[in-house]
Amino acid sequence: MSQHTDTVALVTGGARGQGAAHAQALASAGMRVVIADVRDEDGQKTAAALSEKGLPVRYLHLDVTDENAWAAAMADIEGREGGLDVLVNNAGIIRVTPLASLDAAEWELLQRVNTTSVLFGIKAAAPAIARRGGGSIINVASTAAHRGAEGYGAYSASKAAVLALTRAAALEYAPVGIRVNSVSPGGVETPMIDDEPPGGTSSGAPLGRRAQPEEISPLIVYLATEASSFATGSDFLIDGGATVR
């Protein structure tokens, strides 16, 4: 499992939930992993727990909505890890509010945390990844980018924009060897679902349950490595069949 020891990966929103699971999976594949988040206590604990398992994971404070902070984070990673090969833009938030009572502040918050952050991440990380001769950027979208759900207008719009941004980035960075793809999970058992109505958008999924975060991570590892060498500009749904209906 140590074939990727020269690979450095950054996972945003890695303090808990899916990001923590992805960090563990990437590190288990041999990568050195930096988890970045604003939940410093959770992030330190997650990094310590993975380090205790012998996995090379460290925590870095990064508010993904702050473009200057992205520049500082990249300088820190290039200084300490020697470069970057993989970026997983996973940080995100959800609010569920009907359009009639959705105000501009909530709309803009969701776009900034879920979408603008992905732009900042791509802009900051791509030059570093290009300096290594290429690599992979994975943007976490959602089934909400693909289907409608009452109350999910702002969240769905933020995630649909991630798909569009992914396609543009795939085209713009292919010449420097960076593949850019998105992943659209549906209904994953993480603390985020506390901010959703019971069942969320996963109710009615043919597999009849939510995913555990570890069930999404193999797809992230696939997209992070040369196993996916011909994949760029695509979205990968992983949702227990929820979008089939």
We find the least distance from the C-beta atom of residue 166 to ligand NAD, in angstroms, to be: 13
Q: Are 37 and 62 in contact (CB under 8 A)?
A: yes
For residue 137, the surrounding DSSP H or E stretch is strand 135-140
> Please, is 34 exposed, middle or buried when counting C-beta atoms within 10 Å of its C-beta (0-12, 13-18, 19+)?
buried
Number of shown-chain residues binding ligand NAD (CB under 6 A): 30
65 scored as a contact of ligand NAD (CB under 6 A): yes
Grouping H, G, I as helix, E, B as strand and the rest as coil, residue 114 is helix
Judged by beta carbon, residue 12 or residue 24, the one nearer ligand NAD is 12
Judged by beta carbon, residue 151 or residue 186, the one nearer ligand NAD is 186
Judged by beta carbon, residue 88 or residue 132, the one nearer ligand NAD is 88
**Which of 206, 207, 124 has the alpha carbon at shortest distance from 169?**
124
User: Which amino acid would we find at residue 30?
Assistant: G
Interface pick for ligand NAD out of 185, 219, 236, 240 (rule CB under 6 A): 185
Site for ligand NAD in 3-32 (CB under 6 A): 12-13, 15-19
**Which of 15, 228, 238 has the alpha carbon at shortest distance from 137?**
228
Helix, strand, coil percentages for the chain (3-state, nearest 5): 50, 15, 35
> Please, is 83 exposed, middle or buried when counting C-beta atoms within 10 Å of its C-beta (0-12, 13-18, 19+)?
middle
Is 222 catalytic? The answer is no
Taking the C-alpha atoms of residue 56 and residue 15, their distance in angstroms, rounded to an integer, is 15
238 scored as a contact of ligand NAD (CB under 6 A): no
Interface pick for ligand NAD out of 93, 174, 176, 238 (rule CB under 6 A): 93
Interface pick for ligand NAD out of 37, 70, 74, 179 (rule CB under 6 A): 37
We find the least distance from the C-beta atom of residue 118 to ligand NAD, in angstroms, to be: 9
| Candidates 60-68, 71-79, 95-103, 224-232; binding stretch for ligand NAD (CB under 6 A) | 60-68
Judged by beta carbon, residue 82 or residue 191, the one nearer ligand NAD is 191
**Which of 65, 181, 60 has the alpha carbon at shortest distance from 120?**
65
187 scored as a contact of ligand NAD (CB under 6 A): yes
Grouping H, G, I as helix, E, B as strand and the rest as coil, residue 97 is coil
List residues near ligand NAD by CB under 6 A: 12-13, 15-19, 37-39, 62-65, 90-94, 113, 140, 142, 185-188, 190-193
Catalytic residues, which ones?
155
